[in-house]
Amino acid sequence: MNPLLTKRFAACGVSIPEILLPAPGIDLSKFAVVACDQHVSDASWWEEAARIVGDAPSALNLILPEAYLEQPDREERIQKINQAMRDYLAQDVLRSVGEGFLYLHRTISTGVRHGVVLALDLERYDYTAGAKSLIRATEQTIPDRLPSRIRIRENAVLELPHILVLIDDADNLFMAPAERALERLPLCYDFDLMQGSGNIKGWTLQEETVLEEMARALEELVRRGEGLLFAMGDGNHSLAAAKAFWEELKPTLTEEERSAHPARYALCEIVNLHDEAMVFEPIHRVLFQVDRAALEREIGVTEEKFPPLQELQPLLDQYLAAHPETKIDYTHGEQTTRRLGALPGNMPLVLPSLDKSTFFEIVRKDGAFVRKSFSLGEAPDKRFYLEARRIRP
């Protein structure tokens, strides 16, 4: 790759990665599975995924669904994940498609969402409150959610991203060069995702004239963004875990090693905030084994009446700390939330949608939202694991 082009992207916090994809002949509809933080309270999706996959090569063997995060065999699962990564490389299940980006069309419930898979520089990312970095968290990061993710990454040879990162690109400067060149870009996959989750198409983006236009677009967006270029969409804690692991690894490396070590970067999909198919869905709450009368008496919250989320979440945290018998889950989709909330002892809190037009302005001005404030689409529209990248030399 042209060194000058590489430097221009680096100035914008971007690295041009070497991407791995399943080898020809592998059933991609079985390989790709949804983000690990979906269906946490309803393991039936993952059970059905396992049935569909059977013995076929699959990303299901390379991730730890959060539905199983608290199981007593967690360490055994993590060891199997790390071994499966090594096996897939040794068995040529995953093959390099070379250095470059991938341009995606993902058909979801709201239309066709456009994305670019690339690597972000973790040196330019800060998830702490009030950060002014080029790449920022948009929701409160919970330190207790990082150790399990770090544990998976510390012995992993690969990463597979479910991270969606937003850019504020009203003129579509960044994606337009890829769209204009689409007819001559090599198509690397086109298939339907499992369990009714839509279709995905991906093209390799390696043509330097197209990449130069995209670098120019990012440079302009940096200028417009007043120091903020990339804002987290989905997968905030996964990117934070990658950052935390990198900070642990850095002291063991020389300066030269730090500049080029693959763990310094994280593979992500970039999506335009203004994409017509990009819909901000609320993340609802379900309280389990809750005393509704006590909830109303102590914090003034009922199923029908509660304050805006930025005020609600601290109240819920207060109540949960005083009532350890009550648990909370963060759910996607009103129907699922009401179904779980209707079970004996439970209570649903169905939240309104966020106005996405104010998103970057709020992040720039006020910093992060409270955790689990929004979701980029409902569960079937989430990112699926498919692309991979080495994170060890």
> What does pLDDT average to in each consecutive run of 10 residues of the chain (393 residues)?
92 97 97 91 90 97 89 90 96 96 96 98 91 89 80 92 95 97 96 96 97 98 94 90 94 93 97 93 94 96 93 95 95 89 96 86 81 81 95 88
d(CA 24, CA 26): 6
Q: Which residues contact 312 (CB under 8 A, 6 or more apart)?
A: 301, 306, 349
Sign of CA dihedral 101, 123, 148, 379: negative
* Tokens read off for 392: 């060890």
d(CA 371, CA 379): 18
d(CA 347, CA 364): 34
d(CA 314, CA 180): 47
pLDDT number for residue 281: 83
Contact 380, 332 (CB under 8 A): no
pLDDT number for residue 315: 96
pLDDT number for residue 118: 98
**Bridge-partner residues for 204, per DSSP?**
102
pLDDT number for residue 141: 78
pLDDT number for residue 174: 98
d(CA 286, CA 288): 6
Contact 265, 15 (CB under 8 A): yes
State the pTM of this model. 0.85
pLDDT number for residue 160: 95
pLDDT number for residue 369: 82
Which pairing describes strands 101-108 and 111-121: parallel, antiparallel, or unpaired?
antiparallel
pLDDT number for residue 355: 82
Give me Rg for the CA atoms of the chain: 21
pLDDT number for residue 380: 87
